[in-house]
A and B are shown apart, each in its own frame.
Chain A
Amino acid sequence: MRWLSLFMSLALPFGTLAAKKPASPADTFNDFHTKALAATPVKLADSSYKKLTASPRDYSVAILLTAMDARFGCQLCREFQPEWELLSKSWLRGDKKAESRTIFGVLDFADGRDTFISVFEPPNCTCPGVLPPTIGPHAVPGVEGPVRLDFTNGPLSAEQVQAWIARHLPGRPHPAVKRPVNYVAWAVGVVSTLGIAGALAKAGPYILPIVQNRNAWAAISLIGILMFTSGHMFNQIRKVPYVAGDGHGGISYFSSGFQNQLGMETQIIAFIYGLLSFSAIALIMKVPRVADAKKQQVWVLLWSAILFLLYSFLLSIFRIKNGGYPFSLPPFM
């Protein structure tokens, strides 16, 4: 490889002299590689982008298009930028002799407006791209613009993008992404663990009654069960909206499908389940312990009314979800 580049750098000036071009590909590469050694990824603008990607080139360019300015409100750009920096840094570190001949660059919309519009269609795209070499042993003929990696499901991690770039640059070294050890996080973790352990040891006599309190554990268990049986995990996994519009400017609390639900809906359901359970618990455990006959009568009436009304209401909600459901109880028929 080195011989080749040496040969190139010797041979190409003649070609460039003939074409009256200012710089050879090797010069351009060395130029940008020096810049990259100072700060990678290389920050590009319209002119430097043209210079870097000018054909012919015997090196590859990995470029990230982004729009970091707050005006554009590009969340994806801000989320992916550190990953790209990490990737380019670990690539440079793992490839000290520049055997892969790859330059990592970043082009912000603010600096390269024209390039954005002319080269990248559609221009609002925020994505990494790869430009393979046009001459040399790894040349890929017929590729004009950069090969793009579209983010369809949110930003990818540096490792995933590294694998993608590696697929497009076969036969060259592909330094792996090395995430720096987060010493601060480790220190914070160790210190806080020790701190919490110490605090627990000190405050043990005061905390122990709470930890051993049966009521607390009963409450935690019931809340957990109610949460899970009312579809909380579905909300977590599917990331459903909290409420949705009903198309007439109002809010609809219940979605109509059997397989769908809204965040608010599950909370209403959990609340209904909770109240129903609680009225059953009250009837089983509290009511028979009321010593006064009249008071007891009132409590029984109250809890039975809640039990009956809520279950009727629950059935009516269920009929929204499942149109063919035939059963109902008064008063919500």
Chain B
Amino acid sequence: MAVATATDSSSPMQTLADFGKSKSLRTLLRVLILCFIAGAAVSSRLFSVIRFESIIHEFDPWFNFRATKYLIANGFYDFWDWFDDRTWHPLGRVTGGTLYPGLMVTSETFASCWPPAFSGLTAFAAYLLTNEMTTNTSAGLLAAAFMGITPGYISRSVAGSYDNEAIAIFLLVFTFYLWIRALKLGSVLWGALCALFYGYMVASWGGYAFITCLVPLHAFVLICMGRYSTRLYVSYTTWYALGTLASMQIPFVGFLPVRTSEHMPALGIFGFLQLVAFIYYIRSSLSGAQFKAFLFVGLGAVFGLALLALVAMTSAGYIAPWSGRFYSLWDTGYAKIHIPIIASVSEHQPTAWPAFFFDLNLLIWLFPAGVYLCFQDLKDEHVFVVVYALFGSYFAGVMVRLMLTLTPIVCVAAAMAASQLLSTFLSVKSPVAKDPEQEDATDVSSKKIKQNAGSLRSTNSPYVGVYSFMSKGLVSGIMTIYLLLFVLHCTWVTSNAYSSPSVVLASRMPDGSQHIIDDYREAYQWLRQNTKEDAKIMSWWDYGYQIGGMADRPTLVDNNTWNNTHIATVGKAMSSSEEVSYPIMRQHEVDYVLVVFGGLLGYSGDDINKFLWMVRIAEGIWPDEVSERKFFTPRGEYRVDGEATETMKNSLMYKMSYYNYHTLFPPGQAQDRVRGVRLPDTGPVLNTLDEAFTSENWIIRIYKVKDLDNVGRDHAAAASFDRGHKKKKAIKKRGPRTLRVD
């Protein structure tokens, strides 16, 4: 290359650069930086602990916490057989068979503060993975820094969110690192390590299917590119055999890896790889173009036949088709029609673009640049980045929750682009301008390179370098501003959006001071102190884990949504009139009903806003008794005010939410601040329930289910008799008085 460098050893910049070249010093610096990144990652996740206090604050985590307590108290083997009779009353739940135990085993004792600790490890794993992709070690450090503070990952690992995802992302990144390592070296040891961490991942999070599909896909793409190698064979077969065995040890998974469609790609590629290996072996011992062609046709035929057999076995019922949650990723309209329980979860909604930008900020556009850089060398590991990037962004677009699986590759690719950009423009060396003759020479050589197929067009001409200090200063200045802005953005997002726990709500007073709304804990405390220990609480499933964990009372349904019919039963009870609901509640021995109502405070995540999902889920099971259409006015509006439909006004949920609510306001001014409507003057009448408790800001309302009437009347008659009774009493009082006067 015709690049001359301006070496001037006396310049202070050069001295600094030389100083940094000492190998041991570099290592020390790298370790220090990684420690700082880990520290930043951990501390940025402690906002919620500092602002509120050390409590667990999401919905799912409460169950994990309870499970961990059981595990500590009774040991591991009892844990597998734990039958939890305090949830899903009256069914109970075989807990060992329906959860991923990795989290509980990991954490044992420390609950609310350890997800942040794992984020440090995730940053380290991202460093390792990036170092496999590029020779530029600063890229790894940048990736670690991105991974440590990016909001896309912080959302699930802030202190207090005691959830599977926090640990799962570390395992995901580390498993991918081990896979790349195994593939590069073709080593059984690394493959076995990869399988080990894969097994751990299976034990931790349902999202393991992402690995189960991505690794075979990577292998398949490599084979299609004609990159089959013994390294690929050794690493894949080791991973698949050991990893599948490891995953089958988890009771919840069991024999799924050989029976369900989402595990079939891994099995199929395993078989396909054996064939390919066999053919390569034959080819190496024999020769002849026709023989080769024949073999390739045979290979295609076998692959097609295997696919046909898979389809046949699926339709014959030997292999379960794609499980609903997974299938809805491909056929995006499927979930809405067939499984409202999945479509109802806010995390399963598709992602709008602001969410991407909110979670990833500038990484979102550095990410494609990094992927493009991978096409420069396009070694096996770069193919992995490309495949992961494409599928990760598709899945993240379909489901908000899967933003989490996209984040690692975004950090890796963006770090590659950013570090490449910085090292190009921060290099002290500048090329010297050449004379025209030399330029002609380079033109010729560049034309030669152009003919070289299989390379990127942008790398056709030879690398020269950046000439002027102005260019260097400009670009590195812009990048510095952007990176600083990224840090500010992450801090802002973390402290504002992801650190407010959903159990404790924070609001601002007019004078700017913070006001803490603690209705949830107030209500759970009330339940704990004022109800019998086996009092059954009926609520929508979102609050099941919290009631189990914080109030320690049995629930009908909870966040583990394994039984759709049972949830639909609760939905039916909530969306029907009292005459229908009361027998349902009696049958399920419900003592208390809990609803969340945000109308007073303007808290939009309340049950009236979730109500249509309850109706839909109930309608899925009892289409003749519950109809979504009847909750909409003839003009197709969902209303809660005086214009609401009769079905809406008579539903148990509506009555419980608005019972006595109008008494808070002067006549004619009752207002729902979430829906922004004025309510009628007369509130709903409840006959079968008694108001037991309403929290300070009316967010939680608890009702006691009345016993059967002593003299066998129905509740409506008894209640109207009671109301009439008071009038009669007044008359009676007046009666004697007149007598006395006489």
**CB-nearest residue of chain B to A167:** B624
Determine whether B498 belongs to the interface, using a CB cutoff of 8 Å to chain A.
no
CB contact under 8 A between A259 and B353, given known A285-B458, A293-B468: no
**CB-nearest residue of chain A to B353:** A231
Instruction: Indicate which residue in B356, B439, B478, B623 contacts A229 across the interface (CB closer than 8 Å).
Output: B356
The distance in angstroms between the C-alpha atoms of A272 and B353, with both chains bound, is: 12
Instruction: Indicate which residue in A229, A308, A327 contacts B367 across the interface (CB closer than 8 Å).
Output: A229
Q: How big is the B interface, by class?
A: 35 or more
CB distance from B460 to the nearest CB of A (A): 8
Scoring A residues 318 to 331 as 1 if CB is less than 8 Å from chain B, else 0, what string do you get? 10011010110100
CB distance from B444 to the nearest CB of A (A): 13
CB contact under 8 A between A277 and B393, given known A233-B398, A291-B434, A297-B468: no
Give the segment of A18-26, A172-180, A219-227 that binds chain B.
A219-227
When distances are taken between beta carbons in the complex, the residues of chain B under 8 Å from A300 are: 466, 468, 471, 474-475
The distance in angstroms between the C-alpha atoms of A221 and B390, with both chains bound, is: 7
Are A225 and B389 in touch, CB under 8 angstroms? yes
Are B420 and A284 in touch, CB under 8 angstroms? yes
When distances are taken between beta carbons in the complex, the residues of chain A under 8 Å from B396 are: 228-229
Are B372 and A217 in touch, CB under 8 angstroms? no
Are B352 and A258 in touch, CB under 8 angstroms? yes
Determine whether A139 belongs to the interface, using a CB cutoff of 8 Å to chain B.
no
The distance in angstroms between the C-alpha atoms of A296 and B396, with both chains bound, is: 38
Scoring B residues 346 to 374 as 1 if CB is less than 8 Å from chain A, else 0, what string do you get? 00001111111110001011111101110
* A:209-263 near B, CB below 8 Å: 209, 212-215, 217-218, 221-222, 224-226, 228-234, 236-238, 258-261
The distance in angstroms between the C-alpha atoms of A272 and B354, with both chains bound, is: 13
CB contact under 8 A between A288 and B465, given known A214-B455, A215-B456, A297-B471: yes
When distances are taken between beta carbons in the complex, the residues of chain A under 8 Å from B425 are: 283
When distances are taken between beta carbons in the complex, the residues of chain A under 8 Å from B496 are: 324
Are B478 and A304 in touch, CB under 8 angstroms? yes
The distance in angstroms between the C-alpha atoms of A91 and B333, with both chains bound, is: 28
Scoring B residues 136 to 176 as 1 if CB is less than 8 Å from chain A, else 0, what string do you get? 00000000000000000000000000000000000000000
Determine whether B79 belongs to the interface, using a CB cutoff of 8 Å to chain A.
no
When distances are taken between beta carbons in the complex, the residues of chain A under 8 Å from B466 are: 287-288, 296, 300
Instruction: Indicate which residue in A228, A259, A272, A285 contacts B394 across the interface (CB closer than 8 Å).
Output: A228
Determine whether B459 belongs to the interface, using a CB cutoff of 8 Å to chain A.
yes
Are B390 and A327 in touch, CB under 8 angstroms? no
CB distance from B457 to the nearest CB of A (A): 5
**CB-nearest residue of chain A to B337:** A153
When distances are taken between beta carbons in the complex, the residues of chain A under 8 Å from B482 are: 311
Determine whether B629 belongs to the interface, using a CB cutoff of 8 Å to chain A.
yes
Number of interface residues of A (CB under 8 A): 69
* A:271-325 near B, CB below 8 Å: 272-274, 276-278, 280-293, 296-297, 300-301, 304, 307-308, 311, 314, 318, 321-322, 324
The distance in angstroms between the C-alpha atoms of A304 and B466, with both chains bound, is: 14
The distance in angstroms between the C-alpha atoms of A304 and B479, with both chains bound, is: 10
Determine whether A150 belongs to the interface, using a CB cutoff of 8 Å to chain B.
yes
CB distance from B305 to the nearest CB of A (A): 15
Are A283 and B464 in touch, CB under 8 angstroms? no
Instruction: Indicate which residue in B372, B421, B462 contacts A222 across the interface (CB closer than 8 Å).
Output: B372
CB distance from A239 to the nearest CB of B (A): 10
The distance in angstroms between the C-alpha atoms of A280 and B368, with both chains bound, is: 10
* B:90-143 near A, CB below 8 Å: none
Determine whether A12 belongs to the interface, using a CB cutoff of 8 Å to chain B.
no
**CB-nearest residue of chain A to B423:** A284
When distances are taken between beta carbons in the complex, the residues of chain A under 8 Å from B474 are: 300-301, 304
The distance in angstroms between the C-alpha atoms of A225 and B368, with both chains bound, is: 7
Determine whether B213 belongs to the interface, using a CB cutoff of 8 Å to chain A.
no
Scoring B residues 382 to 414 as 1 if CB is less than 8 Å from chain A, else 0, what string do you get? 000010011001101110000000000000000
Are A229 and B364 in touch, CB under 8 angstroms? yes
Determine whether B433 belongs to the interface, using a CB cutoff of 8 Å to chain A.
yes
Determine whether B17 belongs to the interface, using a CB cutoff of 8 Å to chain A.
no
When distances are taken between beta carbons in the complex, the residues of chain A under 8 Å from B424 are: 283-284, 287-288
CB distance from B638 to the nearest CB of A (A): 13
Are A225 and B393 in touch, CB under 8 angstroms? yes
Determine whether A118 belongs to the interface, using a CB cutoff of 8 Å to chain B.
no
CB contact under 8 A between A283 and B421, given known A231-B352, A318-B357: yes
The distance in angstroms between the C-alpha atoms of A229 and B212, with both chains bound, is: 23
**CB-nearest residue of chain B to A153:** B337
Determine whether A266 belongs to the interface, using a CB cutoff of 8 Å to chain B.
yes
**CB-nearest residue of chain A to B470:** A297
CB contact under 8 A between A326 and B492, given known A221-B386, A234-B350, A259-B352: yes
When distances are taken between beta carbons in the complex, the residues of chain B under 8 Å from A272 are: 365
**CB-nearest residue of chain B to A321:** B354
When distances are taken between beta carbons in the complex, the residues of chain B under 8 Å from A290 are: 461, 464
Instruction: Indicate which residue in B390, B464, B488, B623 contacts A224 across the interface (CB closer than 8 Å).
Output: B390
Are A297 and B467 in touch, CB under 8 angstroms? yes
The distance in angstroms between the C-alpha atoms of A286 and B420, with both chains bound, is: 13
Are B372 and A238 in touch, CB under 8 angstroms? no
Instruction: Indicate which residue in B333, B456, B485 contacts A329 across the interface (CB closer than 8 Å).
Output: B485
Determine whether B593 belongs to the interface, using a CB cutoff of 8 Å to chain A.
no
Are B461 and A237 in touch, CB under 8 angstroms? no
The distance in angstroms between the C-alpha atoms of A229 and B434, with both chains bound, is: 43
**CB-nearest residue of chain A to B430:** A293
Determine whether A182 belongs to the interface, using a CB cutoff of 8 Å to chain B.
no
6 A-B pairs with least C-beta separation: A233-B397, A231-B353, A228-B393, A276-B365, A300-B471, A280-B369
Starting from the known contacts A284-B369, A289-B458, 7 additional A-B residue pairs (CB-CB under 8 Å) come to A218-B375, A218-B456, A224-B393, A231-B353, A259-B352, A287-B466, A296-B466
